[in-house]
Amino acid sequence: MASTAEVQAMTDAIALAQQALCPPGPNPRVGCVILAPDGSQVSSGAHEGAGTPHAEVVALQAAGAAARGATAVVTLEPCSHTGRTGPCTEALLDAGVSRVVFAVCDPNPQAAGGAEALRAAGVDVEAGVLEAQAQQLNAGWGVAVSRGWPFVTLKIAASLDGKIAARDGTSRWITGEEAREEVHALRAQSGAVLVGIGTVLADDPVLTDRRPGASYQPIPVVVGRREVPAKSQLAAREPLQLRTHDLREALRELFAHGVTTVLVEGGPTIATQLLRDGLVDQVIWYIAPTVIGGGLPAVGDLGITTIAEVERFDVTSVTRVGADIRVDMAPPAKGIKGGGN
């Protein structure tokens, strides 16, 4: 059983991981607190992105000799592999830590096994403390590393009747400023923002987080065979261009580039294909309180011919954003065509 001091330390470690300047990418958010045998906090640390020391190592370094006989409280199972940095299991053993309390088992097959390695070396190990809370730190990352392609969020901003543009192609702005600002925050939480080449040609998007003080920008990704025009706004950002129509292949390639979470922002061709192939993990749908009538539908033909074939999402939240409505949805856990894990 974890002590009160250990549970408090885990709460603190989760907060540290949450606050760390760790960009969304190949590495998870992780926090660590070192406790002395009397339960007092000796040191703490958080991970700040790929290539930088893991949270355990940051905390151990700050603790120095005081780590001997101490308890390490970590939000993620300590790694037992050499990746960009060395194994944390070794660092913990070298420092003389006698107990390790962690929240979430490492879903990364390459790094997992730390708990067993520590136990085998005589360390007292406890797993699962505040697991659900710590899970939220890296929800998309966990899904991605366990299956080998990124967590996909499909964002759509449409009218009540599901149109994303009027008949002449004009689409700025269907949703209001508040919704658009929220989308900038979604970009800040994503490793990549993906659009089809059709959207680049039609809308000339920039795909950046333009909120004041934004320090991180997701990798812009364009899918499709046609060239990104040199004079487009995106060209200056040197987007990653995936010249394929096979989105499954494109997603695997993105994962190979270190992308674990991708925000898909258009257009209908990509949205249709992702839904048809069951590749969507989360839908964030902004509904503007307006009816366009004729115009461009957000989603094209999914190959559904009769109502018995439709798949319903589970609604996870409904919120008002300015004058618009945001609906968050997830595909039902089972029965996703081809996209299950």
CA distance 42 to 86: 23
Which one, 99 or 180, has the nearer CB to Zn ion?
99
Number of residues located near Zn ion, criterion CB under 5 A? 3
Which one, 27 or 241, has the nearer CB to Zn ion?
27
CA distance 186 to 183: 5
CB of 204 to ligand AOF, least distance (A): 36
CB of 80 to Zn ion, least distance (A): 8
Give 294's Cβ-side CA count (13 Å radius): 3
Q: Which of 48, 56, 182, 265 is catalytic?
A: 56
From ligand AOF, Zn ion, none, which one binds at residue 28 (CB under 5 to 8 Å depending on kind)? Answer: ligand AOF
Residues 6+ apart with CB under 8 A from 120: none
Query: Contact 207/218 with Cβ under 8 angstroms?
Result: yes
SS3 content of the chain, % helix, strand, coil (to 5): 30, 25, 45
Residue type (1 letter), 194: L
CB of 63 to Zn ion, least distance (A): 16
Q: What is the DSSP letter of 236?
A: G
Active site residue 311: no
Only one residue has tokens 């004729």, namely 294
CA distance 138 to 31: 12
CB of 8 to ligand AOF, least distance (A): 20
Contacts with ligand AOF by CB under 6 A lie at 27-28, 30, 47, 54-56, 76, 79, 83-85, 88, 106, 108, 111, 145
Which one, 48 or 209, has the nearer CB to ligand AOF?
48
Which one, 54 or 326, has the nearer CB to Zn ion?
54
CA distance 193 to 222: 9
From Zn ion, ligand AOF, none, which one binds at residue 157 (CB under 5 to 8 Å depending on kind)? Answer: none
Residue type (1 letter), 245: H
Which one, 112 or 154, has the nearer CB to ligand AOF?
112
From Zn ion, ligand AOF, none, which one binds at residue 44 (CB under 5 to 8 Å depending on kind)? Answer: none
CB of 198 to ligand AOF, least distance (A): 35
Provide the mask over 25-64, with x wherever binding to Zn ion is found by CB under 5 A and - wherever it is not: -----------------------------x----------
Q: What is the DSSP letter of 63?
A: H
Provide the mask over 143-162, with x wherever binding to Zn ion is found by CB under 5 A and - wherever it is not: --------------------
CB of 68 to ligand AOF, least distance (A): 21
Does residue 79 belong to the site contacting Zn ion (CB under 5 A)? yes
Exposed e or buried b for every residue in 108-145, given b needs 16+ CB within 10 A? beebbbbbebbeeeebebbeebbeebbeebbebbbbbb
Q: How far is CA 249 from its chain centroid?
A: 19
List of residues contacting Zn ion (CB under 5 A): 54, 79, 88
| Residues forming the active site | 56
